Structure 1
Amino acid sequence: MRVLIGSVALGAILVSGPVLASEASKQAKMPPAQRSCFRAEDVNGFNVVDDKTVDVSINSKTVYRLTLFSRSPDIDWTQRIGIKSRGSSWICQGLDAEVIVPGSIGPMTYPVTEVRKLTPEEIAFKKPKKK
């Protein structure tokens, strides 16, 4: 489920830099109890919520919601994604990671602007009901 490849084009960094910096300041103000961290190596699955949101699972009881900086038109049909941590091996908040999505013209890299651990209720709601 993980691919550690890719780099962000210089133009994307220059255009997205100020917007991403404001997202990072919002995340830094979040109380530590609401922040929780994981490592890219620990991700063992993912579920696409929409073209800007991906849930990554660490185990059946630990799922993080990643919000991407921009739409990914290829993410809804891909069978694998990559997660690359930035700065350290821990992913705790926006700007700590990038999601890499294979596409028809090559892999595309999407900076993560928000990381949120899902509550047990949110995880239970997503699971299919047993009959």
Structure 2
Amino acid sequence: MKTSDLVRKLPDVYRKDPKSNNYKLLQLSAEALEELREAAALTEESQDIRTAIGKTLDLHGEKVGQPRGSADDARYRVLLYHKMARDRGGRHSAGHFCGAAEHHGMRTGGSSRSATGRTGTDG
């Protein structure tokens, strides 16, 4: 919310010009609120397994019982997709998770297209 919007909400008995203490206090509050919104958005984004990195990705692994081992973030994300697919049994196919993993540039061992455009199986 803009400082000017906050200032307009003050009763008319208060000074509202940009040099007033009221304006300055509300400006600080507006800046703090914006920083909080940005932090909340980053926190929400980091919780998404598709964008999580480092320790946050490790926390996803702990939730589903998949240790990281020596895998980097990209490979670990694929392991998590596969683990979640296995845990869901028949409700969702592993292909859904493999597709998401391949979207991140990871080969998952499934069907792939060669440079000639032919579909085959990695082996």
Structure of greater Rg = 2
TM-score bracket, shorter-length normalisation: under 0.3
After TM superposition, the score normalised by the length of structure 1 is: 0.21
After TM superposition, the score normalised by the length of structure 2 is: 0.22
| Structure with more contact order per residue of length (Cα contacts < 8 Å, sep ≥ 6) | 1
Q: Which has the higher helix share?
A: 2
Q: Which has the higher strand share?
A: 1
